[in-house]
Amino acid sequence: MERAESPKIQEQKLCEYYISEYQKADPFRIANRVGVPYHYTEQEFQMSVMGRAYAVKFPEFSIRCLEGEDIYDLSESRKFRVLLLRFLLYGTVFEANGDFRLFRELPSGDRLSRQFEEQCVKKMENRYGRVLQVFEAIMEKMNAVRIYGADIAYEMEFLEGLYIRFLFLAGSESLLPKLRILFSSNFPAAFSAEELSDIIEICMDAFDAAEPLLAVANPYSR
């Protein structure tokens, strides 16, 4: 009986496949479709990722932070590399209209909502809910925009024109704060419902990397 491939090997093969497809693509068509500028002289796309500017080379596909050190370590994250490649190859972005939706309200979200709650919402509540000051400080470090609608609420631009809102409602001594995660209504054109769980996991990794001392100080960080 053949041994099943590990998720890391599968992820590596996916990344290699998408890179080969990326190298055959037309960079100008990609730029027009996803709404990010392509600089022909430098042969790179330039885009905002979680509040920081990055350059993505074409055709070799390398990721470089344009604001000093890549504190999120996105260039080394295979999960992010696969996600970004799929976005550049197949995604479409239209201007956000200010409408935000829960995961279950997105296409196929109702079918996967229980999984998303367990893998993303509950995990974030456990990681940051007991020490909301940690989450608040990380959001400020990432230049997220504070908004109204909950005790602690922030809006973050994940990629160009794609916004995520994190809304924490304070709990009590016996109850964890409750979290709601909202996605701008243009997300379904760029990513599938299955990919949104990966996006939130990438966000959590970036949150901890943005302020590692605060993450370590949080006894519920994992």
pLDDT range class, residue 7, cuts 50, 70, 90? low
Is residue 171 very low, low, confident or very high in pLDDT (cuts 50, 70, 90)?
low
Give the tens place of pLDDT for each residue, 98-125: 899 999 999 999 999 999 999 999 999 9
* Sheet hosting strand 178-184, strand order edge to edge: 100-102, 178-184, 162-169, 152-159, 145-146
pLDDT tens for 20-48 read 999 999 999 999 999 999 999 999 999 99
| pLDDT of amino acid 67 | 83
Higher pLDDT, 149 or 200: 200
Question: CA dist 97 to 64, 83, 94, 163, 180, Å?
Answer: 30, 24, 9, 11, 20
| Chain segment 51-78, per-residue pLDDT in tens | 889 999 999 999 999 987 787 888 888 8
